[in-house]
Structures are given as C-alpha cells and as structure tokens.
Amino acid sequence: MTDTAPFFPPIEPYRHGMLQVDDVHAIYWEESGNPDGLPVLFLHGGPGGGTSPRHRCFFNPAHYRIVLFDQRGAGKSTPLGEYRNNSTPLLIEDIERLRSMLGIEQWLVFGGSWGSTLALAYGQAHPESCLGFILRGIFLCTPAEIDWFMNGIGWFFPEVHAEFASHVPEHERGDLLQAYRKRLFSDDPELYLPAARSWSRYEGRCLFLRPDLQAIDDFSADHVSLGIGRLEAHYFLHEGFFGEDQLIRGIGRIEHLPAVIVQGRYDVICPPKSAYRLHHAWPGAKLQVIGDAGHSGYEPGIASALIAATEQFRRSRSFA
C-alpha cells in the first residue's frame, strides 16, 4: 500500500465466517470497523480476485460497519477457482443472503473493476437494499470490453500481450479466449495452473500507470491466479451472464440513488469510455476522472478520491 494515499490504518475483523450457499460453494465473509456504524459492502474485482486486508482501509472504522466477502471461487471461499454453479445471478443471491444473515436493511455498495459490474447488477436487482454507490474503473462486461481485454491491451502493452499470447500455440492465437478456455477448464493441473498464472500475470502487469512489481508478484501467485484466470475466462465466455447492454439499460432502477464514479484516465484494463457511457446514462452520478492514474484502486489519486467519497457519504449520505 502506498504511503502517499490517505488510507485508514489497518484493522482486523471483529467477526468472520463461512456461509454455505449451495452444495458446492461456501463463501468467506467478515465484518470490521464499528458494529453500529453505517453499513458498507465492498465488492472485489476479477471476477475471482478476492478481498484483501487493505480493502478495509478505504473506510473510516469509527463510522463504518465494513462488510467484505469473497465471491464464489475466489479468495478464502471454497472451492477456489470453481466455475460451476457460478454466475452473476447467483452472486446477487449470495449478497442478499449475506445481507439478511447480518441483519442489515440497507448498505452503501462500493466496487471497482468487476466489483463495479457486480455493484450495478446487484443494485438494479435490489435497489431497495442500497443506500448509494461508489464505483471505480467501470466495466460493463460488453463484448467490446471483453475483446479489448483479450486483444486491445496489446496496443498499449505489446510485449505483455505477446507474452500472454505465447502461452498457446500460434495456430490458436486468433481466438485467445477459446484457446485459454481449453486449458483453464482442464482437470489437469499441469495444464490449468500455467494457463491461470499466464492470464493473471497479464492483468497484473497492466494495472498501474507505473509498474508495481509487488502487484505483479501477487497476481502470479497460485492462490490468486487460479481464481482470476478461471473465473474471468468463465464470465467472459458468458458475457457476464447479461443481456445486451443490460447494465446501461437498467440504470432507471437506481438512478434515484447517489453515486460517484472514479476513473483513471490511463486505465488500460477498463478504458474510460465505459465510465463515460455510464455517466451519460446516469447524469445524476458524479464522475471523477483521475488524470495521473491507471486501473488500480491503490494509485494515490484514485485512492484519495475513493476515500474522500466514503467520508463525504457518511457525513451527508450523498455526493452532492
């Protein structure tokens, strides 16, 4: 974590557990901060990225009841990397089950990257459960965005994309998503683990405006890469389990709620056009474009804007 961003001090959960959501999946959840504070739900990226202790530090622990959980197949949830019984509607059901179990009527929803996708999908399914939204690095999971991730990033990171493509035989490189599908969903760890490491490292090398070696190492670790590689490919293959432009078309269900959108100008993972499209559809949301940042929520300008938003919301329950 960078020392130049105003993160709150590290804290430990006061309660945590595993919630069995079906015969296959159990999800890890935790609460930290003030048990009587304003509830906030943190939605991690990926899909498959999992939560980190650093994620608690976006929120003032004296004022927020901070809820983190690892989505199906991610982080401490089990089984790691499991893509069966794993879809956006099921993740939305998990969130509502968790909210009910914790006795929370409404909460602020905070999500970045895929977390912004899931936040929008959840909010549109259950607007009555949401107080507002803090969204970062917007990803609408459209075919154009998926194609950008698989191919377009090569315009900015040609050497990184070339290494990503080199993991599969040359004759399969015309469709990298299908080529990786064959390997990532194999039952043979000698096939799926190297593919997952390659996929996750590809993403990790493109996260920051300036390279972050620790992030690259983190994304290369097996316990991270298996969730990211398998689940990102799984969700991409199903276009997020969404209808055509579903998250834009459904804005009417949440446009009455306060929201702030924080977007890095040089975000190569989730280019700014998606944030622009979301803001155009949702003019009541406040858009902040950070001029010296890429994709990561830990870059100083992005982190500062996110933390300022959490502080403003808990003071006034809005971003006006």
217 vs 92, higher pLDDT: 92
Based on the fold, state whether residues 128 and 53 are members of the same structural domain. Answer: yes
Please state, in angstroms and rounded to a whole number, the distance separating the CA atoms of residues 107 and 69.
14
| Residue 1 counted as domain residue | no
| CB neighbour list of residue 300: distance below 8 Å, 6 or more residues apart | 2, 4, 5, 293
Torsion of CA 237, 243, 246, 249, to 10 degrees: 150
What's phi and psi for 274, nearest 5 deg? -70, -40
Over the range 100-120, which residues count as b (16 or more CB within 10 Å of their CB) and which as e?
A: eebebeebbbbbbbbbbbbbb
Q: Give tens-digit pLDDT for 126-172.
A: 999 999 999 999 999 999 999 999 999 999 999 999 999 999 999 99
78 plus 130 within the same structural domain: yes
Predicted confidence at residue 219, as pLDDT, reads 76
Residue ending a domain, choose from 225, 240, 255: 240
Q: Are residues 249 and 125 in the same domain?
A: yes
Please give the pLDDT value at position 252: 98
- Is the same domain home to 151 and 138? no
The residues pairing with 107 across neighbouring beta strands, listed in sequence order, are 130
Residue 159 sits in the same domain as residue 117: no
- Position 211 confidence tier, pLDDT thresholds 50, 70, 90: confident
User: Does 210 map to a domain?
Assistant: yes
- Domain end, chosen from 208, 224, 240, is at 240
Quick one: pLDDT at residue 296? 95
Q: Measuring CA to CA, how many Å separate 50 from each of 133, 225, 239?
A: 20, 10, 20
Query: What amino acid positions are annotated as catalytic residues?
Result: 113, 267, 295
Asked whether residue 174 falls in the same domain as residue 44, the answer is: no
Q: Are residues 107 and 207 in the same domain?
A: no
272 within domain boundaries: yes
Answer yes or no: is 30 within a domain.
yes
Residue 52 has a pLDDT of 95
Q: Has residue 5 got a pLDDT over 90?
A: no
Burial environment of residue 40 by CB neighbours within 10 A (0 to 12, 13 to 18, 19 or more): buried
Does 3 fall in a domain?
Answer: no
pLDDT at position 145, please? 98
Would you state the pLDDT for residue 4? 56
Better-predicted residue by pLDDT, 77 or 214: 77
Placement of tokens 């401490």 in the chain:
76
DSSP string spanning 172-216?
Answer: GTTSHHHHHHHHHT-S-HHHHHHHHHHHHHHHHTTSSSS--HHHH
Please report whether residue 5 resides in a domain.
Answer: no
Residue 221's pLDDT band (boundaries 50, 70, 90)? Answer: confident
Q: Point out the domain boundary residue: 209, 240, 271.
A: 240
Note the pLDDT of residue 251: 98
Q: Are residue 45 and residue 138 in the same domain, yes or no?
A: yes
91 plus 149 within the same structural domain:
no
- Distances in Å between the Cα of 281 and the Cα atoms of 63, 134, 193, 266, 274 are 32, 16, 40, 22, 11
Percent of the chain with pLDDT over 90: 92
What band does 6 get if pLDDT is binned at 50, 70 and 90?
Answer: confident
As for how many domains the chain has, the answer is 2
Q: Which domain holds residue 280?
A: 15-142+241-316
pLDDT at 61: 98
